[in-house]
Structure 1
């Protein structure tokens, strides 16, 4: 049984806050990785993910930020195919880190009309792992 990351750690949050100038979590924040998503920073997030040296926990947390940002962009109808290709490439490259994230966003047993905007994309990625 693989030991994939399951949750975003406080250490990963603190590191990404510093490295990417993201908002710090408040005292009652529970879903920081969703709250800091930003469609205007997707390219920056992808570039940082691809070109920076950081640990597995940080990669796990940042990918969730990326996916939530992409989900928001897809909902707005404003996402470029090249961005989706890059996200898919990174998800597959680090599938050992992101398997739980892929499973979560794929909502495998749900009808697509009851899913996230990004679920069809994630289901395609899931078929490749």
Structure 2
């Protein structure tokens, strides 16, 4: 699989507004990290269902994975949640789109106790595909 960091991905206002409308989420321009502010574990199913829609853009999919990672970060027992593995599969199947997200959430080589709860899973994915900055 190609490691495509040559296409920088950044959240953009249009994708944020589109997802806010689609998912009935709050949005205003002063929300600095909107995708993290609206991420909520109770919305995981909605985020996953939106990712699979035919009329969704790559920019929206990029944001949805950021939102899913943040939502799962706040949960316990990821190993028991099939939705987490579905999320990892979506990332793996669209790695060119989500490489930067994987690298960010893998948190380098920081000790796991100083990293996010999802970092061990993300590092496995990073290492499996030899992703690097």
TM-score category (smaller protein)? 0.7 to 0.9
Structure with the bigger percentage of helix: 1
Assess, with a 3 A threshold, how the Cα gap between structure 1 residues 111 and 87 changes in structure 2: closer, same or farther. same
Q: Deviations over 1:98-129 (max 9, x none)?
A: 00000000012211110011111111221233
Q: Which portions of structure 1, spanning 4 or more consecutive aligned residues, are displaced by more than 4 angstroms?
A: none
Query: Unpaired segments of 5 or more residues in structure 2?
Result: none
Q: Quick check: 43-52 or 108-117, which moved more?
A: 43-52
How many residues are matched?
A: 126
* TM-score of the aligned structures, taking structure 2 as reference length: 0.85
Which residue is 1:13 aligned to?
Answer: 16
Assess, with a 3 A threshold, how the Cα gap between structure 1 residues 40 and 79 changes in structure 2: closer, same or farther. farther
Assess, with a 3 A threshold, how the Cα gap between structure 1 residues 59 and 112 changes in structure 2: closer, same or farther. same
Alignment partner of 1:4 is 2:7: yes
Shift of 1:79: 6.7
Which residue is 2:67 aligned to?
Answer: 65
SS of the aligned residue for 1:51 comes to: coil
* TM-score of the aligned structures, taking structure 1 as reference length: 0.88
Which residue is 1:94 aligned to?
Answer: 94
Which residue is 1:103 aligned to?
Answer: 103
SS of the aligned residue for 1:99 comes to: helix
Query: Unpaired segments of 5 or more residues in structure 1?
Result: none
Aligned alpha-carbon RMSD (Å): 1.8
Shift of 1:63: 0.9
Shift of 1:44: 1.8
Assess, with a 3 A threshold, how the Cα gap between structure 1 residues 5 and 66 changes in structure 2: closer, same or farther. farther
